A and B are shown apart, each in its own frame.
Chain A
Amino acid sequence: MNKKVLKGRIIIKGNIEGEVLISRKPFMFAHGVNPKTGEIVDKRSDVYGKNMKNKIFIFPNGKGSTTGSMWLLETIRRGNAPKAIINQETEMIIATGAVLGHLLYGKKTVIIDKVDFEELGEINPNSAIEINCNKIEVK
C-alpha cells in the first residue's frame, strides 16, 4: 500500500493531481532540461531521458546556475513544464522562474517545499499524487 499524506509549505498555491516524476538528486534546470520538449537532458540526473511535462516533479532541491530561472520560464512558456514541483527546499532560482511563468504567461506551476523526503520513502515512480493546499497525498 503506497498511500501517504505529507505536509509541506506552500510556495505557489494550487490544487492539482498528476503523475509523479521523482528524482533523489538535486536538479539543475540550467542545461538540465530541453525546454522545447520537457525532456531531461542532464546525463548526471537519475531521471535522465524522462519528460517533466505535466508531471508532479519531485526532487530535493534545485542547484546550479542563476540562469536556471530562465530555463524553467522557457519550459513554462512552451507548455512543457511540470504541473507541480515538490522540494525539500525550493531555491530562489526555481521560485523566480515559476513566479515569472505565472505573472507573464498566466501558467501556474504549483510549488510545495519543506516536504520530508525521508517520509516520501520508496514512492512508486508510477504513483499518482494529489496536492490539496499544503497536503500531498500519494495514491
Chain B
Amino acid sequence: MHLTNNDLDMLNGKYGKAVQFAMKLIIIIGEIYQTDDLINVSSAHILGHYGSLYDAGVEFYEKLANLNAKCRIPTTVDPSSLPENWKDFNIPDNYAKKQLRLYKAIKKIGVIQTWSCTPYEFVNIPRYGEYIAWAESSAVAYANSVLGARTNRTPAGLDMAAAITGRMPRIGFYLDKNRKGQVLVKIKKKKLTDFDYHSIGYIIGKRVGTKVPVIEGVPTNCASYQLKCLGSAAASSGAVSLFHVIDVTPEAIKEDPFKEKSPEEVIEITPDDIENTIQKISTTQNEEADIIAIGCPHLSLEELRKVAKILKGKKICSDTRFWIYLSRAVYTIAQQMDLITDIKNSGAQILLDTCPVISPLKYCRFRSMMTNSAKIANVVPTEHNMEVIYRDLETCVKGAIK
C-alpha cells in the first residue's frame, strides 16, 4: 500500500486512536480489494440508525466519539430510526434510548445533522468527478449517476472511517473502467409519470443486478427527483450503484457511456412490463391498507407540492394513517408555502428525520401498507412482516380518504 506521510501519521496515532483505528480498517479493506492506492474523498454520508446499526454500531460510534474523533470532511447522516416526534409513537424506551445514544455520539463527532437520505438536495452536493465516500444505496445511485460524482456503496462503519480520515481505497466506482455502461435499457413508454420512474427503476434493478445500465428513452426534461426515484428503486431491487441516462446524466451527454464497446445485453421496458411489475410488486390483491407511506426517498419539494395539492380540502379516514416522510430542509421551505398546513389539515402526518424502511414499524402492528415507493414495497414485506400494495400517489390518497 502506498501511504503518504499524512497516511502514516494517521496510522501511527499522531491524530489519536480513533483516526488510527479508521486508517487500519481502510488499509485492510484496500488490501483485500487489491489496490495499492488510497484517495482523498471530499465528503461522506454515513448511516446512523439504530434499526440496523444495533448495539454494535452504538458501541462503535460511542467509542470513536469518546476517543475524540472528528469529521475531517463534510459528513451528512442518513435517516434515524426515530421520527422527530418519536414520543407520540409506540416505540419501546430501550429502543429509543439506543438511537438517542447514536444521536449524541454522531453529533459529537461533528456530523452535519441532516438525518435524511437526500442530503444532495440541500447541503452535500458533490460535483462531477469528485471522489466521495457515501453510504445509503439510493444516495450513492444519485451522486454517481445524476451528479457524476464517484463513490462506492460504502458499508456502514467504513463510511465513518472515511469521514474521520478523508481517505478511501481506490477501488470500484472510483475507477474509470468500472463506470462504463454494460447493459442498454430501452424505455418503450412515452410520457412517463412519477410512478413510472419507481417502477422502471425496480425493473432495471431486478434485471441488471450490480451492472451499470445505460437508459435510453427518458426525456431530457425529466426532473432530478424522478431520477432520484429511479435510482433508489434500482439500488434496492438490484444493487445498482451507477446508471447512465442518454443525453441526461453527465457521463452520458456528448459522451458514449459504453466507451465504444457493445452493450452486454439489450433490455426493453414496455408499458406492459411496467403494468405487470406494478401487479407483481404488491404482495396482496387487497386494496385496503392500515397505513399509507409516501416519501422514500425523502420527498423533494415538487413531490410534496403534488401531495399537498391532492390532499388539500380532503380528510383522511380516522382508521387510516397517511404518513409522509421528509427532510427538515424541505419541511422548512414547505412551511413558508402553506403546504404543511394543507397537509396537516387533511389529517396526514409528517414524519421528519426518519424513514419507513428503517423505523420500528413492527411496534405499530400494521398489517398492510400502501405506497408509491418501489423501494419501500421491496423491503417492507420481509423486514416488517406486512403486506404491501404498490400504487401511484393519487390512488394512495384515494385509498386514505374514502
A contact residues vs B (CB 8 Å cutoff) = 11, 30-31, 35, 42-44, 63-71, 73-74, 76-77, 90, 92-93, 95-97, 99-100, 103-104
Contact = CB atoms under 8 A, between A and B. Distances in A.
B60 A104 contact: yes
Contacts of A99: 25, 28-29, 32
Output the residue of A30, A31, A67, A99 with the most chain B CB within 10 A: A67
B33 to A, nearest CB: 7
Contact of A96 (B25, B137, B172): B25
Given A11-B32, A96-B158, A74 B153 contact: no
Interface stretch (B47-55, B196-204, B344-352): B47-55
A73 B172 CA distance: 23
A137 B136 CA distance: 38
Contact of A67 (B24, B32, B53, B60): B53
B392 to A, nearest CB: 25
Interface residues on B, range: 35 or more
A70 B172 CA distance: 21
Given A64-B239, A67-B156, A77-B54, 14 more contacts: A31-B379, A66-B135, A66-B137, A66-B153, A66-B155, A66-B159, A67-B47, A71-B54, A92-B152, A95-B33, A96-B29, A96-B155, A99-B25, A99-B32
A100 B64 CA distance: 13
B53 to A, nearest CB: 5
B54 A74 contact: yes
B156 A69 contact: yes
22 contacts: A35-B54, A43-B382, A44-B382, A66-B154, A66-B156, A67-B52, A67-B156, A70-B52, A70-B54, A70-B156, A74-B54, A74-B57, A92-B33, A92-B152, A92-B153, A93-B153, A96-B155, A96-B158, A100-B25, A100-B60, A104-B59, A104-B63
Interface string B105-143: 000000000000000000000000000000111001000
B306 to A, nearest CB: 28
B137 A65 contact: yes
A69 B155 contact: yes
A42 B60 CA distance: 26
A57 B239 CA distance: 22
Nearest to A28: B382
Interface in B203-250: 239
A44 B59 CA distance: 31
Contacts of A103: 21, 24-25
B277 to A, nearest CB: 17
Contacts of B394: none
B286 to A, nearest CB: 19
A93 B24 CA distance: 16
A90 B60 CA distance: 23
B128 to A, nearest CB: 23
A86 to B, nearest CB: 15
Nearest to B52: A67
Contacts of A31: 379, 382-383
Q: Which 7 A-B pairs have the closest CB atoms?
A: A67-B52, A74-B54, A69-B155, A96-B155, A74-B56, A73-B56, A66-B135
A39 to B, nearest CB: 14
B74 interface: no
A36 to B, nearest CB: 9
A99 B156 CA distance: 12
A71 B382 contact: no
Nearest to A71: B52
Nearest to B172: A92
A65 B357 CA distance: 11
Contacts of A65: 52, 137
Interface in B259-304: none
Contacts of B155: 66, 68-69, 92-93, 96-97
A95 B156 contact: no
Interface in B357-384: 358, 379, 382-383
Contacts of B21: 103
Identify the interface centre among A70, A92, A93: most chain B CB within 10 Å of its CB. A70
B57 A92 contact: no
A97 B29 contact: no
A97 B24 CA distance: 14
Contacts of B157: 69-70, 73, 96-97, 100
Contact of A73 (B32, B57, B136, B153): B57
B220 to A, nearest CB: 31
A35 B231 CA distance: 29
Nearest to B24: A103
B154 A77 contact: no
B374 to A, nearest CB: 15
Contacts of A70: 47, 52-54, 56-57, 156-157
Contact of B56 (A30, A43, A77): A77
Contacts of B153: 66, 92-93
A97 B156 CA distance: 8
